[in-house]
Amino acid sequence: MMLFNEFYGSYYRAVAEILRQALEKPVTRADMVRICQEFSFGDAWLNIPQALTDGSWPLLTGEGRAIIRREPVRPLTLLEKRWLKAISLDPRVQLFDVDLSFVEDVEPLFTPVDMICFDAHADGDDYADPAYRAHFRTLLQAISEGRSVRMTYASRRQRTMVDEVTPLRLEYSERDDCFRVLCAHKNAVKVRNLSGVRQCELLGKHEGGLPDPDARESRRVVLEVTDHRNALERVSMHFTHLRKEVERVGERTFRMTLWYDASDEPEMLIRVLQFGPTVRVLEPADFRSEVEKRVREQLALLGMEAPGDI
């Protein structure tokens, strides 16, 4: 079974779109370039119009019409069906109102037994909870249709709030195994745990502007990584999800700069600490001071002598 196949490639996708438009009216080279830029990437906008017009791929008439007679479509491949079957076995699929009965007789590409996650948190969201699923679907609908909701929400400290908010995104963290909903409230973006939503009622379409859910306060930390016990690889892999820059500063020493969300600072601190002596915070000073404070307190708790300057 081929995963890497031109059948799924961006060139086929762009050509299908060109042919679709060429069934309605003749396409020009400029149309082809525009479609390639939208549906493909890289040099496709150069290569595809060239091949379609120089006789390499004569799928158009001389007038720029499609030689095929119907809109190009393709059936699902076995690989796609088997992947969908595997998805149908995932507990999170219950969140979505989908009918996957058309893959009932297909062998799944993988099963929950094939894949073992060994470090999942014990308090992930309960996707089987009917109320949770209902709230998820209401929020998904609100986001898709640009509507607001009246949300009753219980915070971690069990304070109950009722607000009218406009949901902007559903944010999922596989590390935490939970969804959070980013919503606009009084022109600010609020983040709420989906598990804390008690009631969610769909309201009308939101009028007026909305804050950008992706506008976040970014912070920077600079680390010195000593490549001992394969630390460089471990640290690099661990922080791949963040924007980072790595620079070699010595034979086995590297300077790594990471950009993270300001709201994640406590989490970043403990994630840096886990690498022990192979990672040292260089900047900023307040981040470094907090690490030093914790190390100092730790030495005292274990009755270990602290070096003079820490």
Q: Which of residues 198-217 bind other proteins (CB under 8 A)?
A: 213-214
C-beta separation of 226 from 249 below 8 A:
no
For residue 128 the two structure tokens come to 């089987």
Q: Is 11 a residue that touches other proteins (CB under 8 A)?
A: yes
Q: Which of residues 165-194 bind other proteins (CB under 8 A)?
A: 169-177, 180, 182
Q: Lay out the sheet containing 279-283: strands in order across.
A: 243-248, 253-261, 218-226, 279-283
Near other proteins by CB under 8 A, which window of 77-85, 127-135, 193-201, 204-212?
77-85
Q: Which of residues 229-268 bind other proteins (CB under 8 A)?
A: 232-234, 236-238, 240-248, 254, 259, 261, 266
Helix orientation angle between 29-39 and 10-24, rounded to the nearest 10 degrees:
140
Q: CA 42 to CA 23: how far, in whole Å?
A: 26
Q: CA 147 to CA 141: how far, in whole Å?
A: 8
Q: Residue 111 or residue 162: which is nearer to other proteins going by CB? A: 111
* Residue 57 beta carbon to other proteins: minimum distance, rounded to whole angstroms: 6
Question: Which 3 state secondary structure label does DSSP give 262?
Answer: helix
Q: CA 134 to CA 132: how far, in whole Å?
A: 5
Q: Which of residues 98-157 bind other proteins (CB under 8 A)?
A: 98-100, 102, 107, 109-110, 113-123, 140, 143-144, 156
Q: Is 304 a residue that touches other proteins (CB under 8 A)?
A: yes
The only residue of 22, 27, 32, 81 in contact with other proteins, by rule CB under 8 A: 81
- Tell me whether strands 188-193 and 243-248 are parallel, antiparallel or unpaired: unpaired
* Residue 218 beta carbon to other proteins: minimum distance, rounded to whole angstroms: 8
* Residue 164 beta carbon to other proteins: minimum distance, rounded to whole angstroms: 19
Instruction: Say how many Å lie between the first and final Cα of the chain, rounded.
Output: 58
Q: Residue 46 or residue 162: which is nearer to other proteins going by CB? A: 46
Sign, CA dihedral 77-95-98-201, equals negative
Near other proteins by CB under 8 A, which window of 25-33, 84-92, 146-154, 196-204?
84-92
* Residue 273 beta carbon to other proteins: minimum distance, rounded to whole angstroms: 5
Q: CA 96 to CA 137: how far, in whole Å?
A: 7
The only residue of 53, 193, 195, 253 in contact with other proteins, by rule CB under 8 A: 53
The only residue of 26, 31, 93, 195 in contact with other proteins, by rule CB under 8 A: 93
128 φ, ψ (degrees, to nearest 5) = -85, -10
Cβ neighbours of 217 (radius 10 Å): 7
Q: Is 96 a residue that touches other proteins (CB under 8 A)?
A: yes
Q: Residue 162 or residue 276: which is nearer to other proteins going by CB? A: 276
The only residue of 5, 28, 155, 160 in contact with other proteins, by rule CB under 8 A: 5
